[in-house]
Chain A
Amino acid sequence: MAEGKILTINMGPHHPATHGVLRLVLELDGETIVKVTPHIGHLHRGIEKIAENMNYQQVIPLTDRFDYTAATLCNEGYCTAVEKLLGIEVPKRAQYIRVIMGELARIMGHHLWIGSHALDIGAMTVVFYTFRDREMIMNMTEEVSGYRLTPSYLRIGGIAQDITPQFIKDLRAFIKWFPTALEGYNTLLTDNIIWRKRTMGIGKISAEDAINYGLTGPSLRGSGIAYDIRKTMPYGCYEDFDFKVPVGDNGDVYDRYLVRMEEFTQSLNIIEQALENLPEGPVNVDNPLISNPDLGAVQEDISALIRRFKIQCQGPEVPEGEIYHSVEGSKGELGFYLVGDGSENPYRMKVRSPCFILVSALEKMMLGHMLADAISVIGSIDIVLGEIDR
């Protein structure tokens, strides 16, 4: 090719390494990237508009479809946001179960990330191991909620139903097994010379730039900023647990990888503590205007039946007001801006999706690298298009 000639290529939306339907228009000088233009919206379903026309209870299954790799965390974000608007506190037992399910979802999300990230770069083996372990969590989720990928397990004011003895048995088995599995992933990648060469020094972003570009979650922590909402603005009962927030130094792909690998251990640590100290008690808030009566009562008591009918059809009535609430999703800060107008429908629901902002910063991380490194960078920020397009 003649010198200085710029080649424009189209990567995606059906490219397997773009993790969904992300389309990048790359301008290349030889093999070096000089301009990146991401195009999104191929998966836009208008969830924010749909939510405005539904009641608060009905929105929960929609939130599963944001980050479907770690759906419980999206449920948690939405439910805690509505609870903040309502000004209620959820019973301790429900909070602990939420933490267990949420951290399992985080592990599940990271499983998919490390599997596909390694697959994109060329290490095919990892995905088989992570999907083996992901299956265990899927089975546990199915045991308590009836669904595997999109559980919709949380409810406003609590959870759908209490966990079962079988779930606790499976979870104990998982806690015992998972450190061995984690060692396996580490053996495959952490000191692997090919992995290091493909990831070290790639997609570097300094702490200052990372903040200015709005990066959150493991991508920001890889640059050395310990911004983890579970620690900095605790919601639910995260204050009760003792865990570390891993941070990196260089802000490159390898550091983001290390941060996420450490988060596996920390999530497991939180689950262990939550299971050990799981309090007894109800799993739904005791407020007839907000939570469902349990199914046993519905069989015997006519007023409980009426109440269940009302909650299912109408959902809770939420006071007038505007709040912003965010939780630590598996990709970063998952925020909900909710406007209530006193009716049973949300007046406006805006989702602050971490991946949306991460994709807007892709150009910053990719410029000056080779085309093959673009794959590493996309893998390292762990994008899910369901969350970007909403």
Chain B
Amino acid sequence: MDNAKVLEQLKGEFGDAIIDDVDFRGDLTVIVSLEKLHDIMLYLHDDKALHYDLLSDVVGIDKMPREPRFEVAYVLHSMDDFRRLLVKVMVPIDVEVPTVTDIWNSANWPEREVYDLMGITFSGHPDMRRLLMWDDFDGHPLRKDFPLKGKDFDEKWDPSTIQVL
């Protein structure tokens, strides 16, 4: 099944929910609407012909001055004939993205990583905690407005500020 057929089938099923498509260097990227994301992902997984059963990665991208600010990209593979599809949604700041962990268990940690480093929350995720940074870390390091040199943890410590829990 080639990229053109996949796109045709998707457009036939979802129409306007497929906002845009890009065919770059042999890989098809479809940009879908945030409202329909979960339905489209479920369809991509369950449909007999498409059957994208391996979710390789979830990627958060910050395009800062632009609105909507964030993008979330999903990398899908099919184990039937080893196709690849990239699905992307545009996410404004402080808007939640529906989780796909109920479809692919492999989305669990990548979504947590996106939340941790990019600050995009996934609604319905079973365990939305920080993953790589520690729990009381302030900020999301991969955002473009987060400085490369983070907070100075070596700066002089003032014992009067300590709070006893």
Contacts and interface: CB of A to CB of B under 8 A. Distances in A.
B108 interface: yes
Contacts of B109: 356-357, 359-360
Interface string B107-133: 011100100010000000000000111
A272 B70 CA distance: 47
Tier of interface size on chain A = 35 or more
A360 B108 contact: yes
Contact of A53 (B132, B133, B148): B148
Nearest to B150: A46
Contact of B132 (A44, A322, A359): A44
Given A227-B79, A357-B106, A41 B56 contact: no
B40 interface: no
A213 B107 CA distance: 8
Contacts of B60: 350
B84 A324 contact: yes
A359 B113 CA distance: 14
Describe A's contact surface by its main secondary structure: mixed
Q: How large is the interface on B (under 10, 10 to 19, 20 to 34, 35 or more residues)?
A: 35 or more
B82 A352 contact: no
Contact of A41 (B25, B57, B75, B133): B133
Contact of A85 (B25, B75, B79, B134): B25
B62 A348 contact: yes
A258 B1 CA distance: 33
Interface in A345-390: 348, 350, 352, 356-357, 359-361, 364, 389-390
Contact of A214 (B24, B56, B61, B132): B56
A195 interface: no
Interface string A46-60: 101110010000000
B131 A41 contact: yes
B115 to A, nearest CB: 13
A323 B59 CA distance: 12
B24 A323 contact: yes
Contacts of B113: 356
A84 interface: yes
Contact of B141 (A49, A212, A216): A49
B105 A214 contact: yes
Contact of A46 (B27, B62, B141): B141
Interface stretch (A27-35, A140-148, A304-312, A331-339): A331-339
B84 A213 contact: no
B82 A227 contact: yes
A335 B61 contact: no
B148 A350 contact: no
A40 B75 contact: no
A389 B132 contact: yes
Q: Which of A46, A50, A350 has the most CB of B within 10 A?
A: A350
Nearest to A44: B132
A297 interface: no
B104 A232 contact: no
13 contacts: A48-B142, A211-B54, A212-B106, A225-B79, A227-B82, A322-B73, A324-B57, A337-B73, A348-B59, A348-B61, A356-B113, A361-B105, A364-B105
Interface of B: 22, 24-25, 27, 29, 53-57, 59-62, 73, 75, 77, 79, 82, 84, 86, 104-106, 108-110, 113, 117, 131-134, 141-142, 146, 148
9 tightest A-B CB contacts, nearest first: A214-B106, A232-B82, A360-B109, A352-B57, A41-B132, A350-B59, A44-B132, A337-B59, A213-B105
Interface of A: 40-41, 44, 46, 48-50, 53, 84-85, 87, 211-214, 216, 225, 227, 232-233, 321-324, 326, 333, 335, 337, 339, 348, 350, 352, 356-357, 359-361, 364, 389-390
